A and B are shown apart, each in its own frame.
Chain A
Amino acid sequence: MAEEQPGGSPRADGDGRGDEFEFHTGTIRPSREPDAIEFIEVHKSFGRNHVLRGLNMALPENSISMIIGPSGTGKSVCIKHIVGLLYPDEGDVIVHGKSIPSLSDAELFEARKKFGVLFQDGALFGSLTLWDNIAFPLRQHTEKSEEEIAEIVNRRMREVGLGGEGAKMPNELSGGMRKRAGFARSLVLDPEIVLFDEPDSGLDPVRTALLCELIKEVHAENGGCYVVITHDILSARRVGQHISVLWKGRIVESGPADELFESENPFVRQFLSGASAGPLGME
């Protein structure tokens, strides 16, 4: 999607509120990189809850993309579509040119090896120690010896400030520590596509800043498509190279970070400045 695109699809949602998408210009400002992940007209409902409503989103290769948007708009649902845990009701999700919903189980298994995912709540395995949790992907997917595994795991744990906590069980950790452990686990395989669901929530400001630095460092080292969901505009400013603003299951606007921070769109302006006055209320 290299050219400027007009607004979202004219598809009627049947809920009669015509101006619901008045701020959704759907402008996709061209980025300098090819797309690693594309959502094409994706619709997804849970019962009566129509979460994704014709989502068109492109996340570029070799950059750190931020997905930001109000709580409950379907950001986590997006991540689950990318890794094939949820299937779209309509539309397609394309990762590196392959349509994820149409992969067979075996192909999906292969495709998932290139993902590193940090789930919103860390998703550590409760029956394993912290150390075994972080070593799990290496044991599962590689033939590395225990010494090599130990070296990688110890390095990642030190990076996220959990060195020496390896013997603890996940339920003995604080929420922020679980988050950091999940973060370390998502990176041990040096994946090509990394999906972080709110890596910075539940962390103190200093740790958040350090984590942002770490994301940039790891990305500079490995490259690839990094997708970060966040509510923290400061983090978005610090690490974001590409930003997609999601609201009501569609893109309001997306593009390179510097351009988006200059956007004229009232919703984008409100959201990126965290102002209480603007199109978004508590509803």
Chain B
Amino acid sequence: MVRTAAERAFIPARHVLEEFGDMMILTARTIWSALRPPYPYGGELVSQFLFALRLCWFPLLVSTVCLCYAAPGLQAANFLTLFGALDRLGGFFVLGAIREIGPNVTAIVLAGVAGTAITADLGARKIREELDALQVLGVDPVKNLVVPRFLALMVVTGLFDIYALLFGIFGGILAELVNGQPLGPFWATLFANASTTDLWGSVLKTTIYGAIIAIVCCYKGMSASGGAEGVGRAVNEAVVLAFTAIFAFDYVFTQTLLATHPAILVIK
């Protein structure tokens, strides 16, 4: 009885650790094959880049404008009105929108829209034995399929972060206007608090998010098994795992950035 209970806890735990290890190996192999010649993945890289761009631009636009308008915009504005300090909303936007909401909404939209498409695509190919056939025909799936998706997602997520920041700030402007405020103080506190560290930190963070999404989603797709149902399961697991990994990484990254750049802790 005790033994079976222990086993029941142990087997999933071991499974999780094994999977984590496999993903680390996949990451290393992906980076290694990306750097080592030949470079046959250019075409696929461009098409994956455009694919992600096409799928994500609209959902991301809606998500960032609405979320930034609603969360830091309306809610924080309500709170700041208490102190008659609505001009501080710009400063708050640096903390909320640039550092957290922009990158995280970008990651959620990319994982949910582009990541799942990748898992479903690779999963279907795995189930149809296409990946096996490729390998037998001398095509390395990591170099030809994972590397272009990895690079494309990193670039797309990094770029989309800037796009999300712009539309997020637009949400803030909306909130100011709704509250009948002039925009001058919003910009003033925004630029007083924003530093280049904030910008590069935000872009770097999302670029790494892109890498995480690509590895998780490619891994789950390529290890799908059990027919069409297995592909569905893989997609589901990929989303759950990607979100978890992103938020866990967010914590580590934010903590590290604040510790190494104490200047950005000071709110002006």
In whole angstroms, how far apart are the Cα atoms of A122 and B129 in the complex?
Answer: 8
Residue of A nearest to B135 (CB): A85
Q: Shortest beta-carbon distance, B8 to chain A, in Å?
A: 15
Q: What's the Cα separation between A158 and B124 when bound, in Å?
A: 29
Chain A residue nearest to B47 (CB atoms) is A127
Assess the A117–B136 pair: CB atoms within 8 A: yes
A126 touches B136 (CB 8 A): no
Least distance between B173 CB and chain A CB atoms (Å): 43
Measured CA separation A122–B132 after assembly (Å): 11
With A123-B128, A126-B124 already in contact, the answer to whether A140 and B138 are too (CB < 8 A) is yes
Kindly report which residue of chain B lies nearest to residue A109, judged by CB atoms. Answer: B138
| A78-131 contacts to B (CB < 8 Å) | 80, 83, 85, 109, 112-113, 115, 117, 119-126
Interface residue? A11 (CB, 8 A):
no
Cβ contacts A130-154/B at 8 Å (1 or 0 each): 0000001100110000000000000
Is B138 a contact partner of A141 (Cβ separation < 8 A)? Answer: yes
Chain A residues with CB under 8 A of B130: 123-126
Tell me, yes or no, whether B258 is within 8 Å of chain A by CB. Answer: no
Contact of A119 among B124, B133, B138 (CB under 8 A): B133
Residues from chain A with Cβ under 8 Å of B134 in the complex: 125
Q: How far, in whole Å, are A65 and B130 apart by their CA atoms in the complex?
A: 25
Assess whether B125 is interfacial by the CB under 8 Å rule.
yes
With A83-B136, A85-B135, A141-B138: A126-B128 Cβ-Cβ less than 8 Å: yes
A136 interface neighbour in B124, B128, B129, B137, Cβ under 8 Å: B137
Question: Which residues 115-152 of B sit at the A interface, judged by CB distance below 8 A?
Answer: 124-125, 128-130, 132-139
Q: Report chain B residues within 8 Å CB of A124.
A: 128, 130, 133
Q: Is the interface of B mostly helix, strand, loop or mixed?
A: helix
Chain A residues within an 8 Å CB radius of B125: 126
The digit string for B185-201, where 1 denotes a CB below 8 A from any CB of A, is 00000000000000000
Nearest CB in chain A: distance from B204 CB, A: 33
Q: Which of B124, B133, B135 has the most A CB atoms < 10 Å from its CB?
A: B133
User: Interface SS of chain A: helix, strand, loop or mixed?
Assistant: loop
Q: How many interface residues does chain B have, given as a range?
A: 10 to 19
Please measure, in the bound complex, the distance between the C-alpha atom of A112 and the C-alpha atom of B125, giving whole angstroms: 20
Residue of B nearest to A80 (CB): B132
Collect the chain A residues with CB atoms within 8 Å of residue B137's CB: 112, 136-137, 140-141
Bound state CA distance, A126 and B122, in angstroms? 11
In the complex, A112 Cα to B140 Cα: how many Å? 12
Q: Which residues of the partner chain A approach B132 to less than 8 Å between Cβ atoms?
A: 80, 85, 119, 123
A-chain residues with CB within 8 Å of residue B133 when the two chains form the complex: 117, 119, 123-125
Collect the chain A residues with CB atoms within 8 Å of residue B136's CB.
Answer: 83, 85, 112, 115, 117
Minimum distance in angstroms from A148 CB to a CB of chain B: 18
Please determine whether A119 and B139 come into contact, CB atoms closer than 8 angstroms: no
Instruction: Let me know if A121 and B138 touch, CB within 8 A.
Output: no
B contact residues around A117 at 8 Å (CB): 133, 136
B150 to A: closest C-beta gap in Å: 19
Query: Can you report 29 residue pairs joining A to B where beta carbons are below 8 Å apart?
Result: A80-B132, A85-B132, A109-B138, A112-B135, A112-B136, A112-B137, A112-B138, A113-B138, A115-B136, A117-B133, A117-B136, A119-B132, A120-B129, A121-B128, A121-B129, A122-B128, A123-B128, A123-B130, A123-B132, A123-B133, A124-B128, A125-B130, A125-B133, A126-B124, A126-B128, A136-B137, A140-B137, A140-B139, A141-B138
List 7 other contacts, CB 8 Å, given A117-B136, A122-B128. Answer: A115-B136, A117-B133, A124-B130, A125-B134, A126-B128, A140-B139, A141-B137
* Chain A contacts to B: CB under 8 angstroms: 80, 83, 85, 109, 112-113, 115, 117, 119-126, 136-137, 140-141
Q: Which residues of B contact A (CB under 8 A)?
A: 124-125, 128-130, 132-139
Q: Which 10 A-B pairs give the minimum distances between C-beta atoms?
A: A123-B133, A123-B129, A119-B129, A117-B136, A83-B136, A85-B132, A137-B137, A123-B130, A109-B138, A112-B136
